[in-house]
Amino acid sequence: MADRPQSLFDKLWANHVVRAESADTPAILYIDLHLVHEVTSPQGFDVLRQRDLPVRRPDRTLATLDHSTPTTPPGPDGERHYFTPQAKAQVETLERNCAEFGIRLEGWGSDYRGVVHVMGPELGATQPGMTVVCGDSHTSTHGAFGALAFGIGTTEVGYVLATQCLPQRKPKSMRVVVDGQLGPGVAAKDMALHIIRTIGVNGGTGYAIEYAGEAIRALDMEGRMTVCNMTIEAGARAGMVAPDATTIEYLRGRELAPRGGDFERAAEGWLALAGDDGATFDREVIIDAADIAPTLTWGTDPGMSVRLGEAVPEGDTPGRRRALDYMGVTGGQPLDGHGVDVVFVGSCTNGRLSDLRAAAEILRGQRVAVGTRMLVVPGSESVKRAAEAEGLDRVFTDAGAEWREPGCSMCLAMNGDLVPAGKTAVSTSNRNFEGRQGTGARTMLASPATAAACAIAGRVVDPRGEAAREVA
**10 Å Cβ neighbour count for 181?**
12
Q: How confident is the model at residue 1 (pLDDT cuts 50, 70, 90)?
A: low
d(CA 323, CA 97): 42
pLDDT at 360 over 80: yes
The reply to whether 146 falls in a domain is: yes
Strands (E), 268-324: 283-288, 295-297, 305-307
Are 302 and 233 in contact by the 8 Å Cβ rule? The answer is yes
Domain assignment present for residue 468? The answer is: no
Is 264 among the domain residues?
no
pLDDT in tens, 190-208: 999 999 999 999 999 999 9
| pLDDT tens digits, 124-141 | 999 999 999 999 999 999
End-of-domain residue from the set 168, 194, 222: 168
Higher pLDDT, 1 or 438: 438
Q: Which range marks the domain in which residue 40 is found? A: 8-168
Per-residue pLDDT, 467: 47
Choose the final residue of a domain: 121, 153, 168. Answer: 168
Say if pTM beats, i.e. exceeds, 0.95.
yes
What total of structural domains would you count in the chain?
A: 2
Q: Is 292 within a domain?
A: no
Binding-site members are 348, 408, 411
pLDDT of residue 412: 95
Residue list for the binding site for [4Fe-4S] cluster:
348, 408, 411
pLDDT in tens, 217-269: 999 999 999 999 999 999 999 999 999 999 999 999 999 999 999 999 999 99
Q: Is residue 192 part of a domain?
A: no
Q: 313-325: per-residue pLDDT in tens?
A: 999 999 999 999 9
> What confidence tens digit (pLDDT) does each residue in 322-343 have?
999 999 999 999 999 999 999 9
pLDDT in tens, 287-304: 999 999 999 999 999 999
In a domain, 310, yes or no: yes
| pLDDT above 50 (res 472) | no
Task: Give the DSSP letter of residue 339.
Answer: B
User: Residue 465 — very low, low, confident or very high, per pLDDT cuts 50/70/90?
Assistant: confident
Q: Which of 134, 151, 168 is the last residue of a domain?
A: 168
Whether 419 shows a pLDDT value over 60: the answer reads yes
What is the pLDDT averaged over residues 138-162?
Answer: 98
CATH no. for residue 387?
3.30.499.10
Q: What percent of the chain has pLDDT over 70?
A: 98
DSSP 338-355: -B--EEEE-HHHH-SHHH
Q: Flag whether pLDDT at 34 surpasses 80.
A: yes
**DSSP run (H or E) holding 51:** helix 42-51
Sign of the torsion formed by the C-alpha atoms of 67, 350, 121 and 57: positive
Asked if the structure places residue 207 within a domain, the reply is no
The least confident of 89-93, 242-246, 464-468 is: 464-468
Burial of 72 (0-12, 13-18, 19+ CB in 10 A): middle
Q: Note whether residue 260 is domain-resident.
A: no
User: What pLDDT shows up at residue 3?
Assistant: 78
